[in-house]
Structure 1
Amino acid sequence: MPLNSKIMTAVEQLNYRVTVGDVATQAGLDIDQTERGLLALASEVSGNLQVSEAGDIAYLFPKNFRSVLRNKYWRLRFQALWDKIWPAIFYLIRISFGIFLVLSIVLIFVAIAIILIAMSSQDDRSDNRRSGSFIPRFWITPDLFWFFNPNPRYHRQHVRRQPKDPDQMNFLEAIFSFLFGDGNPNANLEDRRWREIGTIIRTNGGAVTGEQLTPYLEVSDHQRENEDYVIPVLTHFDGRPEVSPQGEIIYHFPTLQTTAKARQQRASSTYLQEYPWKFSQAGSGQILLAIGLGGLNLVGAAVLWSLLRDGTIAIQLGGLVGFVYSIFGVLVAYGIGFLGIPLIRYFWIQGRNSKINARNQQRQTSAVTLSRPDAALQQKIGYAQTFAAQSVVSSENLAYTTEKDLLEQEYERADAIDAEWQQRLNSTE
């Protein structure tokens, strides 16, 4: 089966010796997927299995297992190369939108200037012959340097007072951020959800109530009554329900009670919080500049269209003017989209964030209720703790490991038993 990158990352974070429960909690994966992934990884990199006397299994991996895999599979080598070059490719994609905007403005206003010069030249041809020189009546072109540095005096007086942010976007990156934003802030929401739930279960010894899970789930009032919202958690972490003498249900997760190393775990937050979408991480000045350039682009396109309406001038002048006329539809479409896309995205974000706030409020309410449990909930949590346990697969309680030959392990075990009996005899004497 294909190797899972999340499992490999979790193995590294857990110092290369893990149980299925360790990795499932760390990576936020379900038990079956984690178990299959660990077996596949151990098979590919010659990992070792360690079995405790209680029958629990720990996986031991070499610290250079990624190098072993890269040497073994060209696909992983290609993936490693792609991970290096993709940031550069994506950066070029990001700045291309800003470059196209600047080029669009330059082409439009240069074409306007050429047309106006040609029209002025026709009107003043007789005067030019007498004077021997030609001075156009006016010259229309944007001072692009002004847009990047609109007021040097203001810049010196105000901007220098603020410390420079090393992570601040440059102008071209800000254009992309203004157009499309900066990605989904909750792209890893499900991974965070399962990590938090796994950590809560482990913190409580592998047995919890449904109320202890609600701060990390979306639960409707109907689901809260029959607790069917716990079913995905039971499936994910191989849990099973247990019924108390009072008829209440708690949930037991034996696989998460086994760990390769005793760890004190705490959830990173009392409830799962979704992050609100931001319109853009660009500065307010950069956003205003982008809007201004977008408006300038549309104004220039409108002026140019008034000059090229019948296409006669474009045919007569040809060259750059003819080229701009041929792609004029593309320039106008880009100009409209440059301001239209962010406007649509702004209203979409407002609606999205209102739903996110409602879900966060619901989960926070569940967390507050859990922090102040009534007598019935305290009794239910107390019954769940009767199933709490932790089994550590340590090097001292191993019954078998693939690191050594089986016969050698039998000899070592026999020697250990003899040494233990000898110690007992000496103590009785």
Structure 2
Amino acid sequence: MTSITTTPDTSVIAALRRLRGRATLGDVVSATGMPDHEAEGALKSLLETHRGHLEVADSGDLLYQFDPKLIERDAEPFWTRLRRGAWSAFKVGFKVWTAVMLVVYFAIFVLILIAIMLRGSDDRGFGGRGGFSLGDFFILHWLLGSRGWDRRGLYYGDSYARRLPKDARPPFYKKVFAFIFGPEEPKPTQLQKDRTVLQLIQARKGVLTSSELIEHTGLTVEDAEEEMGRLTGAYGGDPQVSEAGEVVYAFPELMKSAHGKVRARAPKPTWMRLEYPKKLTGNSAGSNWGIGLMNGFNLTMATAMGLLPGLTAAGQGLPPLDPIIFYGLGVVPFTFSGLFYAIPLVRSFGLGGENRGRLRRNIRRLLVGLVYSRSVGTVRWIPVADAIRHVNRALKDQQVPPKTILWELERLAAEFDAEVEAEDEGFRYRFPAIRETFVEAELMRRLLKLEDQRLGPIVYATSDTAAEASQRDLDAFDRELERAEVDLSRYLPSPTRVGYEEDFEVVMEPVAARTRTRSRRVPRRPPSQWR
């Protein structure tokens, strides 16, 4: 259940600023005089709205770590907002201009050609071959969008359109906009993005750690801790410190249902959610050719009928061409048609950088799969050669520099404080911390039993007698043995499989998307940027 966003308590914010964003619950209670339950609620609320996460202090207490400036999570620099707003306004304006220019001028030029051809047919007789046939009208009808101009909804590209029912596929004009500006970028709400994470929490019996979130999202450790802090504030999370000092997050409210025990299937792990290379337009080749020829026709006619005659007359000292013809049929459509080609050309220069970023994220996700497969169960070493081989096998149709793979592996090793050894063949890495966090989460699940909504045994009480304390020590020893024997294999789905997931699947309804759990390969030939 999402919490209702309220105005943060100013006294808590002021106290955190004085404490430079780093405080325990006791620090905030002392600084504000608030009751501890109110202070704890205020801190969790701030975790939802401001950048921050939870750590474990040396004393074993929970430590709230916020940005010293108490920056809000959605805060953006002014110039970033300005650039985005300017580009958005330009896109809207150019789309309106496109709807008028491309179609109206295409129709005008076609009518002019019809008139020329009809005049030619009159000169040659009615049976001449210069007339305008019925087939030409069918072509015009298709180009103008036979499905109508009133259909709503976003267009994420041809792969998206193929998944829709035939009568609901987007009209041609949306493909025209995609040709210029690219397919619409999915903009899921925070609730939509949280959907699969909540499903993961429920599948893990209401208990989750940042390492388990990384298994699902591929986030860095720092970003995963930030995200767990936000989820704690948004969905009534209760952070716990395990006996080994790990922060484990419990979400009891997500495990309550009016329909009995909550059961959920874990979503796909991050190595089965790779990103496809981004395409320039997202259209099929046929659509791009049709759009390009349509604009090329306008460009040619504008040059031949208005621009070239006007410039020729001016160059030869002849009487100037009628301004309506020169500007109306020459300069204006020529300028529009030139921009129509220039905008996607300029966008293509940034497409390489975008796809390199996607490739790096895919490499990280694949390495997360390899590291987790050798760490969650029995902790094993990962030689660099194995990592390179694993990534190249999964991305065999793409050029993956070994240096990039090594760099991403070193980043993972630094984030998880991995052990490193040097061999004759190179370095190898070992990630025992990952298994430790999974074990602590599993033991917390057994302790809390949130799926049954009842508490497990008490770990410590100040009223213990000597005999009770001795028994608890024996129980603690048994739990240490349990840590070594706990089976975590069910929390590592499909460690050897690799899959892709389209961006738009996050925001589409399951029925409309018609998605199926399957592995898909990258095409053998890298797709053209112009598709």
Q: Return the TM-score normalized by structure 2.
A: 0.41
Higher relative contact order (CA 8 A, sep 6+): 1
Relative to total residues, which structure has the larger helix share, 1 or 2?
A: 1
